[in-house]
Amino acid sequence: MRLKDRPMPDFLPRIAALLLTAGLLVLATGCSTPRTKPANVVDRTNGAFSEPAPPGYYRVKKGDTLARIALDHGQSPRDVIQWNHLANPNQIEVGDLILVKPPAGSKIAVAKVTAKPVPSTSDVAKSDVSKVKDVSKPDVASSETLAEPGIRLSSPAKGKITGEFSDTNKGIDIAGKAGDPVLAAADGKVVYAGNSLRGYGNLVIVKHDNTYLTAYAHNSKLLVKEGDTVHKGQKIAEMGDTDTNSVKLHFELRVNGKPVNPQPYLQQ
């Protein structure tokens, strides 16, 4: 009998089947080998950190900057950095808790402002009564700031008011020409001078005491730096149109961090 005519042994099909099964198992094992997963990314803007911040703290939200947080709480960015021991203030993350009140035992050096008493309506002419009553109008942001002002501000610039205080405009807008002087509205200390707050352009923030600070936005040129002491009427910047569509000064007054209508505080 020739070799090719011999019948195939019975065990060969079984060996072939076993080899095929083993190959399939190896292939399946290779396909199912777990891969290294990327680190979990917590979407902190979707409720993962929805619990309220403790008293004296602020929880960082998307789009926040340290300068913005400090402005909204009436504090110096430098103080906030120091209180929170931040090595890099540009690396705050959504959900972080930021201390926005002075810790116990800390001292904040600010220029002293002497509060001038506000005359009662019985001491002024009838034509001036409305000016005094302006302080209690509901356009002031918080009921905590409805009391008579403890600070008197001089006009920060000459020009027509083209934007009134409102829920969407946290100050007033004063029109002018490029290069017009921008003046400190009261004695104080410069706690910010820069352009890192979106929508404000070249900005100066002056802190007058632990209650009041003023902000001067859209300048073409800043003439002071952080830490400088300024006096009422001192030129601190030149008017411009940075981060806006026309030449103007956007002027804000913050009382305990809350924006209020500055007009009742301006000396007539």
pLDDT confidence of residue 264: 94
Q: Do domains 48-99 and 121-265 have the same CATH topology?
A: no
pLDDT at 7 over 70: no
Please determine, for residue 252, whether its predicted confidence score (pLDDT) is greater than 70: yes
pLDDT of residue 136: 34
Exposed e or buried b per residue across 85-110, where buried means at least 16 C-beta atoms within 10 angstroms of its C-beta: eeeebeebebebebbbbbeeeeeeeb
Q: What is the pLDDT of residue 60?
A: 92
| Mean pLDDT lowest among 14-23, 58-67, 86-95, 242-251 | 14-23
Identify the pLDDT of residue 91.
85
Residue-level pLDDT at 267: 81
Residue 217 backbone phi and psi in degrees, to 5 = -115, 165
CB 113 within 8 A of CB 186: yes
Q: What is the mean pLDDT of the segment spanning 57-81? A: 90
What is the arithmetic mean of pLDDT over 128-153?
47
Asked whether the CA dihedral 105, 113, 185, 131 is positive or negative, the reply is positive
* CATH architecture of structural domain 121-265: Distorted Sandwich (2.70)
Residue 149 pLDDT grade (very low, low, confident, very high; cuts 50, 70, 90): low
Q: For domain 48-99, give the CATH number.
A: 3.10.350.10
Domain boundaries, the chain: 48-99, 121-265
